[in-house]
Structures are given as C-alpha cells and as structure tokens.
C-alpha cells in the first residue's frame, strides 16, 4: 500500500499530509494509500490545500501535486 508523491512549489519547504509534516516539496516521498489532505502549512500558496485519493502510483511515476506561489 505504498504510494509516491512529488509536491511541487517554488521553494523547498515541509509538506503537511493530514496536518502532519510528512515530506519536502520538490522531492519524492512515500505516503500510505488513501485519501489525504496536502498543504504547505503557513506558506502562502495556491490552492491552500489539495484533497486527493492517492493510489496506483509507482516510485518512477509518482503523483505530482502542484502548489503555486501567491
């Protein structure tokens, strides 16, 4: 049930998964299969969060989640 995501943002910062720091932006990291809420904490970004069912990813085909600078 391992999934892989890459959260893109203009700078490196911590990614919160369901409210807990669980990885860094612009670097692939592993999450558990399921519905998750991704956000960048207090960093101003657009959108403020993504709620996504994460499944069927591979290490070399991660789910890419995009946050843009506000």
Site for another protein in 16-45 (CB under 8 A): 17-24, 27-37
Which of these, 5, 9, 45, lies nearest to 22 by C-alpha position?
Answer: 5
Q: Which residues of 34-54 are buried (b: 16+ CB within 10 A; e: fewer)?
A: eebebbbeebebeeeeeeeeb
CB of 53 to another protein, least distance (A): 7
Question: Taking CB under 8 A as the rule, does residue 50 contact another protein?
Answer: no
- Residues in contact with another protein by CB under 8 A are 1-2, 4, 6, 14, 17-24, 27-37, 51, 53, 55, 58-60, 62
């Amino acid at each position: 049930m391992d999934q892989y995501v890459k959260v893109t943002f203009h700078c490196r910062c911590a990614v919160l998964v369901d409210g807990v720091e669980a990885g860094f932006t612009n670097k692939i990291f592993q999450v558990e299969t399921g519905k998750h809420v991704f956000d960048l904490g207090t960093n101003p970004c657009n959108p403020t969060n993504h709620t996504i069912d994460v499944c069927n990813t591979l290490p070399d085909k991660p789910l890419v989640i995009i946050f843009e600078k506000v």
